[in-house]
Structure 1
Amino acid sequence: MSDRGVEEGPIFSAVSASARQLFLLLRCIGFADKAQVHISEEGLRFSVEESSVMEGLCFLEKSLFTSYAYNHTTARPSTPNSLDSDATGVDQPIFQISLPSLLETLQIFGLTDPNTNRPPWARDNHTAPSTAFSSNVLGMNHVCRLGYDASGSPLSVVLEEASITTTCELTTYEPAFATDIPFSRKDLALKIIMRASWLHDAITELASTSPTRLTLVARMQDGKPYLALSASGSLGSARVEFNNSKATTFAPTATNTTQSDTSPSLLLETFQLADPTAKVVNSYKFDMIQKAARAMAVATKVSVRGDAQGVLSLQFMIEVEAGKVSFVDFRFVPFVFEEGDEGDEVEDALEDDEVDHSEDDS
């Protein structure tokens, strides 16, 4: 630790009243061994990536903490070419840590609900409705203190439960990647908002065919928003369709199809295409999409966005407590197909099925 850090205090310190909230948010991006941490005045930004074609971003806003202190005067002065400096002219701290180690530390006191250890007549069964992150459901409302003293110092994690205090220091490493997967919010090809649980159910359904690719098709069909997710693999092929009048699961190898009529407000709540007359078709690695399954399972809504280059963003809104939400974002680089490649075959198959459906309705 440098003398300057001792004199001016740590670069960062924060206190959270619930270690479980931090754990469940960070577990959404827990598919990588290392997470890159970016400390700023607004909060902590955790990012992970795989093979440069997928990235997961989790931002812990300062409002999640009961106290949050960022001392920019302790950080290193910025270099002339620095891209991560704030208005004071200092570099914002960026480093890597072992994400599995951090997750293990946050759950060191266990995940069970202590209320279940009490006899049934002694349990409080008349509490107010709770979210998935409420302490009475999770049973892990331990105080968590985070600290980062100076550049190169370990990340300190202190957990407190009653009279027990556990202190862990996680080794920090040099950052491994400098930039995020580029995603142009100003040049969107599509934007769709829907229930995250429906996306989770669709991906689970499609996974049964052991697919390698997921193809997304979005267009206006008969004046109504239409979204289709299709996948094919060694065990067959399947497709899940969403529009504002029904949700249909269609498997070409099956004898029956299933569909359910649902209120339009519960399906594609928002559907925007840059060109309403165009069809948006892109394919992605299925196993990469599956890595966002944990976020799909706990989120309430998801924003599905694609830019003009085909980069896909899945932004999940997660309710951490009543009236408070956090966001976890995933970005995926699409497959680039040549003319006559498999991408055209998938699109042609969807068009053929569309014709079949119109004939059945007539």
Structure 2
Amino acid sequence: MATDGNAERPLFSAVSNSARQLFLLLRCISFAPKAQVQITQKGLRFSAEESQVMQGLVFLEKSLFTSYTYTKPVNENIDDDDDEDTFPIFQISLSSLLETLQIFGINDIKDRSTNHEASYGANGAFARGGAASAFETRFLGMTGMCRLSYAADGDPLRITLEETGVTTNCELTTFEPEFREEILLQRENLAQKIIMRASWLHDAINELSSTSPSRLTIAASPSAPYFTLSSNGPLGSAMVEFSKDPQLLETFQVPSRTVNTYKYSLIKSASRAMEIASKVSIRCDEQGVLSLQFMIEVEGGGVSFVDFRFVPYLSQDDEGDEEGDTVEDVGSE
């Protein structure tokens, strides 16, 4: 537990002028009831996992907060301030955190701008324009202040919310982390990188749901058909095909044909990010590990990123029944 000195100077404290902004970002990974939190000097890293075959990552950069303070523990000998293994990490109830952040009431954001001016640079990095986003106050109304603090290892995560003169204090119990390994995407061995509007991916995934599919197959090829999403289910099969038109696929880097299959319900779990993001970068490495990285515009003209990783079905199991399916475990590499 924290000492009196630590209580006066917590290990971490931050203030945001928008509890709604934090809520909408963290809700993107609400497919799991729990999340791991890592406090770093550059921001907060939230991660959720599903059966070692899906992970969702949200990084709340310190620029999202009006104030952000991380104090290195005095009893810890840390030589490298950038070493992630030295930063505090703990697990919390993500569902409880989301309930706390919306305690003053947050309506679902159904308005999604279809006129984003954001684009990607030549190197594949996201670049942003001045387009409207779901986070702007004209969509959300007035925003409430949120203060986060963590006194010391083992202490609860404290949350204070203030809006129109009303203050609410909450403490969330912290637990030992259950996982530390990420599902690795081999960026140096990418088999494909495609950048497109997130709303188009969202529409395609929803269209395929009509067959009640259990699996989603993603195929990319340097020749037609260039990029397809297909599904099979008890109600039939369906396929959505995208042409190579730069108006559809802003970036298309596919040296050779790739075909990988994933659990449809897991891909569907990224829908909240698809709904509010302006762009998505769809990357796949040579092992078939899939990354969906969403660029989400936030208040003040900035951007945040939400990254999902998915492990594919093993190719030899593609014809097996659902009960016998196994997936390639690359998360322990």
TM-score, structure 1 as length reference? 0.78
- 1:54 and 2:31 aligned: no
1:140–1:169 distance in 2 versus 1, CA, 3 Å: farther
1:103 and 2:84 matched: no
For residues 268 and 211 of structure 1, the distance between their equivalents in structure 2, rounded to whole angstroms, comes to: 25
Residue aligned with 1:269, SS:
strand
Task: Give runs of aligned pairs for residues 53-202 of structure 1, distance below 5 A.
Answer: 53-74=53-74, 76-77=76-77, 86-87=81-82, 91-111=86-106, 130-202=132-204
> Contact 2:19–2:144 (CA<8 Å) still a contact in 1?
yes
Residue 90 and residue 285 in structure 1: after superposition, are their counterparts in 2 closer, same or farther (change >3 A)?
closer
The answer to whether structure 1 residue 208 and structure 2 residue 189 are counterparts is: no
Going from structure 1 to structure 2, the CA distance change for 1:74 and 1:145 (only over 3 Å counts) comes to farther
- How far the C-alpha of 1:243 sits from its partner, in A, is 1.1
Aligned to 1:15: 15
Alpha-carbon distance, 1:3 to partner: 2.8
| Cα 1:312–1:111 shift into 2, 3 Å | same
- Say if 2:252 is the partner of 1:271: yes
Tell me: CA distance 1:318–1:73, structure 2 relative to 1, closer, same or farther (3 Å): same
Distance change (3 Å), C-alpha of 1:66 and 1:290:
same
Given candidates 258, 262, 273, the residue that maps to 1:280 is: 258
* Letter of the structure 1 residue corresponding to residue 103 of structure 2: I
Q: State the alpha-carbon separation in 1 of the partners of residues 91 and 153 from structure 2.
A: 12
CA distance in 1, matches of 2:313, 2:83: 41
Distance in 2 of aligned mates of 1:214 and 1:90: 35
User: What is the identity percentage for the equivalent residue pairs of Structure 1 and Structure 2?
Assistant: 62
Aligned with 1:220: secondary structure? coil
Say if 1:76 and 1:102 are closer, same or farther in 2 by CA, change over 3 A.
Answer: farther
Residue identity opposite 1:193 in structure 2: I
Aligned to 2:241: 241
Question: What's the offset of the Cα at 1:321?
Answer: 2.4
Tell me if the contact between 2:187 and 2:285 (Cα under 8 Å) persists in the aligned partners. yes
User: For residues 142 and 103 of structure 2, what CA distance do their matches in structure 1 show?
Assistant: 10
Could you tell me which amino acid in structure 2 is paired with residue 334 of structure 1? Answer: P
What does residue 296 of structure 1 align with?
Answer: 274
Distance 1:129 1:53, change over 3 A: closer
Residue matched to 1:232: 232
- Count of aligned pairs between the two proteins: 299
Q: CA deviation at 1:2?
A: 3.2
Question: 1:331, 1:89 → 2: CA distance?
Answer: 20
**Within 1, Cα distance between the matches of 2:5 and 2:53?**
38
Deviation string 1:13-68 (CA, Å, 9 cap, x unpaired) is 00001010000000000111110000000100000000100000000000000110
In structure 2, what is the Cα distance between the partners aligned to 1:192 and 1:279?
A: 13
Distance (whole Å) between structure 1 residues aligned to residue 45 and residue 99 of structure 2: 19
Give runs of ≥4 in structure 1 deviating > 4 Å: 74-78, 87-90
Does the 8 Å CA contact 2:7/2:151 hold for their aligned counterparts?
no
Q: For the residues of structure 1 that align with 2:309 and 2:85, how far apart are their CA atoms? A: 29
Structure with higher Rg: it is 1
Q: Does 1:331 align with 2:309?
A: yes
Partner of 1:342: 319
Change (3 A) 1:292 1:75: farther
Q: Distance in 1 between matches of 2:10 and 2:81?
A: 17
In 2, Cα distance between equivalents of 1:230 and 1:167 = 47
Residues in 1 aligned to 2:275 and 2:75: alpha-carbon distance in whole angstroms = 38
**Gap regions ≥5 residues in structure 2:** 109-129, 321-333
What SS class does the counterpart of residue 47 from structure 1 fall into?
Answer: strand
Match of 2:298 among 320, 326, 345: 320
Aligned alpha-carbon RMSD (Å): 2.4
Q: Are 1:5 and 1:11, in contact at CA under 8 Å, matched by a contact in 2?
A: no
AA at the equivalent of 1:33: P
Q: Quote the Cα distance in structure 2 between the aligned partners of 1:183 and 1:221.
A: 25
Task: Give, in angstroms, the shift of residue 87 of structure 1.
Answer: 4.9
SS of residue in 2 equivalent to 1:211: coil
Match of 1:133, SS?
coil
For structure 1, the residue ranges without an aligned partner over 5 or more in a row are 114-127, 245-263, 344-362
Q: Specify the code of the residue in structure 2 equivalent to 1:306.
A: C
Q: 2: CA distance between counterparts of 1:105 and 1:75? A: 32
Q: Is the 8 A contact 2:2 2:151 kept in 1?
A: no
1:211 Cα deviation (Å)? 0.5
Match of 1:357 in 2: none
TM-score where L is the length of structure 2:
0.84
- What is the DSSP-based 3-state SS (H/G/I as helix, E as strand, rest coil) of the residue aligned with 2:200? helix
TM-superposition CA deviations, 1:275-322 (whole Å, max 9, x none): x2x210100000000000000011000000001111000000001125
* Structure 2: distance between partners of 1:23 and 1:89: 25
Question: What's the counterpart of residue 28 of structure 1?
Answer: 28
Displacement after TM superposition at 1:107 (Å): 0.5
